[in-house]
Amino acid sequence: MDNTKKIIQISSGPTYDEVRHLLDSPEWRIMDTEELMKCDDCNHQAKEYAEHDDVTEKNEEGECCQVRCPNCKSWYYWEVE
Spell out the per-residue pLDDT of the chain, length 81, in tens. Answer: 444 444 444 444 455 666 778 888 899 999 999 999 999 989 999 999 999 998 888 888 888 888 999 998 988 999 998
Degrees, nearest 5: CA angle 32-72-79: 45
Sign of the torsion angle spanned by Cα atoms 48, 52, 56, 62? positive
Q: How far apart are CA 30 and CA 4, in angstroms?
A: 23
C-alpha–C-alpha distance, residues 8 and 10, integer Å: 6
